[in-house]
Amino acid sequence: MLLVCTPALAVTVPAPASATASQSASVPARAQAPARAAAQVQAQLQNQAQEGVQVGATGAPVGARCEAEDWPLWSEFLKFFVTTDGRVIYSFAPKADSVSEGQSYAMFFALIANDPVNFEKIWRWTVRNMFANDLDTRLPAWLWGQAEDGSWKILDGHSASDADVWIAYLLLEAGRLWQRPDYVAEGNKVLATIEKYLILELPNFGKMLSAGRVSFVEPDDIWRLNPSYLPIPLLRRLAELRPNGPWTEIALNTPRLLKATSPKGFAADWVSYLRPPEGRAHFGIDELGADRGSYDAIRVYMWAGMTAKDDPLAAEVLKTIPGMLTYISANRRPPENVLVTTGAVTGQAPFGFSAAVLPYLKALGATQLYEELAQRARSQQRVSSSDRTMYPVRPPYYDYALSLFAFGWTEGRYQFLKNGQAKFNWEKSCSYAAVR
């Protein structure tokens, strides 16, 4: 199958309108932002036409073609987890819920595979159902499924900022790569809402990303944060697109947060930042997370390993979480649960954990461990896709999602550049690859 590819876009996302901005203009500044981004695309297409490049109806130069990736893992993910209208099934039946994380991850996998058809389906389902068709004021509800009355609808309207940031990032990258000004405009809207509602100013610390739009700032000056919601490449890319925004400071604060909350070298699922009535504000144990590092925190190691080596923050983040390497060296597998304050571990980690730590091990030069865990994770992933005795219904969603992230990266299907921009293997066959 061949898909049309088009020249890359370099888009600077305009800042959202200030609450004190003048209201005298006929069109609000925030409403003008998507139009300016779309105008950049149109201007580029007009330049191509003036330079003698034949442009097709889609905006693509005629004859500029690139092959879709033959990626069996993505084909399996679509078969097991994605409905024909673009909903990602997160939990097993009869619940069969969907979460914003799953929608955003599937959008990234579609971009890795150069699959704009499924990207569009997944995104439009998300807009209709999790944004309730409102990209101007809402962020996606994190949970959608069947209610007690049998209806299918939003079950929890709170947002989860990991999905929010991934969605904004992916729309902007897809708009650049697939010449889609509508994606650029929509990504701009999501990013503006994130900046309006999710940016915290922690006392004596600085800017940080809230875990969601509501419910994560507790009474008595307690802020709940999730370290796995802070992939450095995404923060770097948003900082480049928004040089006057909060993203550079959030990126620089991420290794500081990890250092303060990883006393034994293990990342936590959730952490709290507290401002006591007397004394200095500080990080502490999160009451709900119970100082555990597990299914959320495993992504911290994955993002750290995927961060470009020439980004100074890559080494800084890796220095904060050496405990995982020490444990794997001794036990030949990652733990399922670890108490971050003591280093005590429990449980046997599923195969997705072994996949997730592969970029981390590779970044640290642990070649033998990397090869050993890669073989185990790949073998167990294959069993999960075919052995209905062990997995009666389907493979576990989260392990499969972690596997696509990890194996897509280890196979060279994508990488993150120093500026956080995503670079995909399929770009090599496209005529615009040289103008990145």
Give the residue numbers marked as catalytic.
101, 162
3-state secondary structure of 165: helix
Report the distance separating Cα 237 and Cα 184, nearest Å. 14
Assess contact for 185 and 42: CB atoms under 8 A. Answer: no
Report the distance separating Cα 407 and Cα 401, nearest Å. 10
* DSSP code of residue 55: B
HSE, CB side, 13 Å, CA atoms: give it for residue 215.
9
Q: How many CB atoms lie within 10 A of CB 419?
A: 13
* DSSP code of residue 82: B
Report the distance separating Cα 54 and Cα 171, nearest Å. 26
3-state secondary structure of 16: coil
Give me the phi and psi of 335, to 5 degrees please: -80, 160
Report the distance separating Cα 266 and Cα 390, nearest Å. 31
Give me the phi and psi of 322, to 5 degrees please: -75, -15
Give me the phi and psi of 358, to 5 degrees please: -60, -50
Report the distance separating Cα 406 and Cα 34, nearest Å. 33
Report the distance separating Cα 366 and Cα 124, nearest Å. 41
Give the Å distances, CA to CA, from 348 to 66, 234, 338: 42, 30, 11
* DSSP code of residue 59: S
Radius of gyration, CA atoms only, the chain: 22
Report the distance separating Cα 385 and Cα 394, nearest Å. 7
Report the distance separating Cα 321 and Cα 327, nearest Å. 11
Q: What is the DSSP string of 74-119?
A: HHHHHHHHB-TTSPBP-S-TTT--EEHHHHHHHHHHHHHTT-HHHH
Give me the phi and psi of 95, to 5 degrees please: -65, -55
* DSSP code of residue 60: P
Assess contact for 34 and 97: CB atoms under 8 A. Answer: no
Pairing of β 65-67 and β 2-4: antiparallel
